[in-house]
Amino acid sequence: MKPSSRSYRVAVIYNSSDEHAEGDDVDLISEKAVEDEAQAVMKALEQKGHQSFLLGLGLIEKDLVQITSAKPDMIFNLCEGYRGKARHEMFIAGLWELLGIPYSGNNPLTLGLAQNKVLTKRLLDSKRIPTPPYQVYRKVPESTFLTYPIIAKPACEDASLGITQEAVIENFDQLKVRVGHLLEKYQQPVLVEQFIDGREFNVSVLGHSPARVLAVSEIDFSSIDTSFHKITSYEAKWLKDHTLYKNTPAVCPAVIKSSLKHKLQEAALMTYQLLGGRDYGRVDFRVDEDENIYVLEFNPNPDISLDAGYSNALRAAGLKYADFVEYIINQTMSRLNHDKN
């Protein structure tokens, strides 16, 4: 990865979980974790000789004054929403566009498309990229054409919000209760998918000109009790004291046949390019017992803290974290130079 030819002043901006944020305490755990990413990026910037300052975005009117006054060369954008609302993620990137400040990560259109899981699935269907059959509910269902078990999730959230062990549904009564709960809590449509019983993988992608597919990672469910559903639920992802968090490690690189690895990496790259991915992102999969693969979603703003899955994929590829951050700086600034030409 080519080093920067100069030192830049970088604003590392993340969504602050402060008193203005909406949602219950459990749901806010994932939002609070963003600060770990920001601290890791700050340390890497220091190692590479860049100047930087940290800002937790909490009150946009005040924070914009601070940002414009500081005159950063670029923004390292770690904002996954605003004031507890993940659906505002794309608008924050849009602000950087309007301010004319180069920023890292995906653009507003890509963020918005990926945030809307239903639109993502329609795009996947249009290119014949396999994804589980699904229905969308805006009210408590009166019927379903899907075959049980199925899984329900908010249509426009990320970080596994709303995906608990109760998300996997075995009958129609459970479906009505679960959809009703999600509609009331998240105030958005509910996506219900065929549950793919099997293994869970994710594939990280780096860059865009060209994009590079990193090692395949698998969530190891072998140590969890049979009373739990084998899914990457919110408990498994964020609740560090929960048995699911402790017993569902990621194995990277995954121990799989080369044929399956190829299928996963090819589908990840197709998904990334279809949704306009740039800089970095992650594609999540389920795989059934016959090794049929199904794309669940594209995460255009994955956790890049030092102990997160994306960093594991970087290490598996032999890439140092500080070099990754430097690469993102170069990608961001090269877009600025391209726009001027």
Q: 199 in helix, strand or coil?
A: strand
Average pLDDT over residues 154-176: 93
320 neighbors 47 (Cβ within 8 angstroms)? no
Phi, psi of 173 (to 5 degrees): -60, -45
Fold entry, domain 198-300: D-amino Acid Aminotransferase; Chain A, domain 1 (3.30.470)
pLDDT-derived band at 336 (thresholds 50, 70, 90) equals confident
Mean pLDDT over each residue of the chain, to the nearest integer = 92
- Going from the C-alpha of 248 to that of each of 94, 115, 200, 225, the distances in angstroms are 36, 25, 11, 11
6-50 confidence digits (pLDDT tens) = 899 999 999 986 544 444 555 566 666 788 899 999 999 999 999
* pLDDT score, position 29: 62
Output the pLDDT for position 18. 53
Task: Pick 337 or 311 by higher pLDDT.
Answer: 311
- Summarize pLDDT for 235-282 with one digit per residue, the tens: 888 888 889 888 999 999 999 999 999 999 999 999 999 999 999 999
pLDDT at 337 over 80: no
User: Quick one: pLDDT band at residue 91, thresholds 50, 70, 90?
Assistant: very high
Select 133-194's CATH number: 3.40.50.720, 3.30.1490.20, 3.90.226.10, 3.40.50.300.
3.30.1490.20
State percent of the chain over pLDDT 90.
Answer: 79
State how far the Cα of 130 lies from the Cα of 301, in Å rounded to an integer. Answer: 22
User: Within 217-320, where are the H helices?
Assistant: 234-238, 243-246, 258-274, 309-316
Mean pLDDT of 157-185: 94
- Give the mean pLDDT of 139-157: 96
How much is the pLDDT for 159? 77
Domains of the chain, by residue range, sit at 9-104, 133-194, 198-300
Q: Are 11 and 75 in contact (CB under 8 A)?
A: yes
**79 vs 56: CA distance, rounded Å:** 9
CATH number of 9-104: 3.40.50.20
Q: What is the pLDDT of residue 51?
A: 96
Token pair in block for residue 146: 């899907």
The model's pTM: 0.92
| 3-state DSSP helix/strand/coil % of the chain, to nearest 5 | 40, 20, 40
Per-residue pLDDT reduced to its tens digit, 276-317: 999 999 999 999 999 999 999 999 999 999 999 999 999 999
